[in-house]
Structure 1
């Protein structure tokens, strides 16, 4: 168990955490962790009728409200929706955010997913995790306890990668007791139901989230679960903290 209990979910858009890892964030919060939800974009393309500034403001407000339900703080890096790139500017923004938060646990997006914004976010999360604690990586003062954190990639849409192939999780987190609050967090993103229906062909995305959570739960023998792939590359802690804390059979908070 790390001495510093701070977790950040680095996502692409304001409803991504609620679709993928909010149950785990709730469990961390109830276990005494400081929780942050950060998005690379404000989701300014997520409307068929409003302009980008109005859409961004609305979606940041929705994201802030959803985060508060989990006891989390919401952040937005302000990169353009649908046009996230892995470059020096976006990486520096991510590093600077991590310097201010000093996380010991990072959840980010899969680097193979249907949406390129998600893939670029995963790359930003991985790179910033590895380098943020280096003294010369940022002008933001280095916080106490800064170190290379544990990193997990959240599930892809429907548990599949960019080519539609099934993702093989390394880690399941039991969210049976957190599913209803996770659904309430997702419901805060009221603007996205019409958008997803018209653009992605998804009607009732809250029920889609429930269905996938139940399916992941079935795969590990619980009522509902979230799935992750842990980053175990050189320099990163390899012990599976989420599994040890919240794996199947360890319900707790």
Structure 2
């Protein structure tokens, strides 16, 4: 059984600002409403985003960081962190694994949400290279790095960050979802969070219509009654 009712702290690791809002913001709102402390960790600042813009990448990064913080607040998240990796050039390096491990040991979550490291051939947009690399690095940070006192030894010896075992991982964008969260009650907040990303989304009503269709299909696949909406995950037990 999922440990959802036992989660006190959750960490959401994503590649770009807006990834969490597309994939799991409704679920995050359900959690924060029940008292779960949620932290967002964004690997990039989204500096390569925005098809039409006046400034450079640094300007876009500042805009997108502000958009993400505002979107996070809409679903009850105050702790938003950025690693500042270059947008479009994320690799699942040891250094990225170390930096994600650092945050896992700081936050000590029972559950981590991350992109699937497996390419989804039916929904290629969710398999952006940054997503795949972030998922690979984050999964390796969960297992084995965060729980291993000998992995990235400076985290323990120099920073005093003790090992931590994450009990579950929920993958978004997976080709094999096996768990769904009913987000009907928090759908408006998910859409409000997405609307914060004005630098990336120029047709919010159109996006909302498309998302409603997909979320309803998720709910049907989960066996929920007609009229419900759900976000989909692949649940992996790691603890």
* TM value normalised by structure 2: 0.83
Change (3 A) 1:102 1:140: farther
Matched, 1:39 2:42: yes
Q: CA RMSD in A?
A: 2.2
Given candidates 122, 135, 138, the residue that maps to 2:135 is 122
Matched, 1:175 2:177: no
Matched, 1:23 2:23: no
Matched, 1:133 2:147: yes
| Structure 1 contact 24–173 (Cα < 8 Å) conserved | yes
Residues in 2 aligned to 1:4 and 1:219: alpha-carbon distance in whole angstroms: 25
Matched, 1:213 2:215: yes
1:224 CA drift (Å): 0.1
Residues in 2 aligned to 1:119 and 1:208: alpha-carbon distance in whole angstroms: 24
Count of aligned pairs between the two proteins: 217
CA displacement 1:193-224 (0-9 Å, x = unmatched): 14xx8xxxx99333332221122112222410
| Structure 1 contact 7–34 (Cα < 8 Å) conserved | yes
- 2:173 alignment partner in structure 1: 155
Residues in 1 aligned to 2:40 and 2:206: alpha-carbon distance in whole angstroms: 23
- 2:123 alignment partner in structure 1: none
Residues in 2 aligned to 1:14 and 1:61: alpha-carbon distance in whole angstroms: 9
Structure 2 stretches lacking a partner, 5+ long: 120-125
Matches within 5 A, 1:7-156: 7-48=10-51, 49=53, 50-72=55-77, 73-111=79-117, 112=119, 113-130=126-143, 131-137=145-151, 138=155, 139-142=158-161, 146-155=164-173
| Structure 2 contact 116–172 (Cα < 8 Å) conserved | yes
Change (3 A) 1:141 1:70: farther
1:4 CA drift (Å): 6.2
| Structure 2 contact 47–86 (Cα < 8 Å) conserved | yes
Q: Find the residue that maps to 1:192 and give its secondary structure.
A: coil
Residues in 2 aligned to 1:169 and 1:79: alpha-carbon distance in whole angstroms: 28
1:147 CA drift (Å): 1.7
1:227 CA drift (Å): 0.6
- 1:193 alignment partner in structure 2: 201
CA displacement 1:5-50 (0-9 Å, x = unmatched): 1101101111011001111111111111110111111110002323
1:75 CA drift (Å): 1.0
Q: Find the residue that maps to 1:227 and give its secondary structure.
A: strand
Structure 1 stretches lacking a partner, 5+ long: 157-166, 238-253
